[in-house]
């Protein structure tokens, strides 16, 4: 855990914290989904960042189904929108950044699908693509 805090919040081995934008960006784009989950679940996570999540706010389906559990992917996606999308009054939130965040979401979901039993991988990836298309079509600016 200390390694994550050092790497993503403090920018390596020195002890001066990186700015919140860099800390959030690192957790979204540099950390693996497992590293993000460890950091998010740590009582020592960066208090400057918004860690709240409503999970996958997909009506009826939610975050899980028989062949998938996208809870962590949705949590990191929420984290990215709530932090990168709102910091500095949203001035850095561009269509290109939103696309990059949404593609990370798809990558996280596909990473989860790879770990599923072989019989569930195809349906899991189909759900991942559906969630991705919905996010691209209907979520924020």
Token pair belonging to 92: 């850095």
pLDDT, residue 11, reads 54
Whole-structure pTM value: 0.85
Buried b / exposed e over 102-121, threshold 16 CB at 10 Å, is: bebbbebbbebbeebeeebb
What gap in Å lies between CA 135 and CA 74, rounded to an integer?
11
Cβ 70 vs Cβ 64: under 8 Å: yes
Residues forming beta bridges with residue 68, ordered by sequence position: 65
The string of pLDDT tens digits covering residues 1-15 is 444 444 555 455 455
pLDDT of residue 20: 95
Query: Which CATH code for domain 2-138?
Result: 1.20.90.10
At residue 110, the pLDDT reads 97
Kindly report, residue by residue over 75-87, the tens digit of the pLDDT. Answer: 999 999 999 998 8
């Amino acid at each position: 855990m200390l390694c994550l805090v050092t790497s993503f919040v403090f920018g390596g081995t020195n002890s001066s914290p990186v700015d919140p934008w860099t800390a959030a960006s690192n957790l979204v784009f540099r950390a693996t989904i497992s590293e993000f989950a460890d950091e998010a679940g740590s009582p020592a996570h960066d208090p400057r960042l918004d860690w709240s999540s409503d999970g996958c706010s997909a009506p009826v389906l939610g975050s899980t189904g028989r062949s998938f559990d996208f809870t962590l992917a949705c949590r990191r996606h929420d984290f990215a929108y709530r932090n990168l999308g709102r910091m500095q009054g949203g001035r850095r939130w561009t269509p290109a950044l939103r696309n990059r965040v949404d593609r990370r979401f798809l990558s996280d979901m596909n990473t989860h699908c790879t770990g599923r039993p072989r019989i569930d991988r195809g349906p899991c990836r189909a759900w991942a693509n559906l969630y991705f298309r919905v996010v691209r079509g209907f979520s924020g600016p």
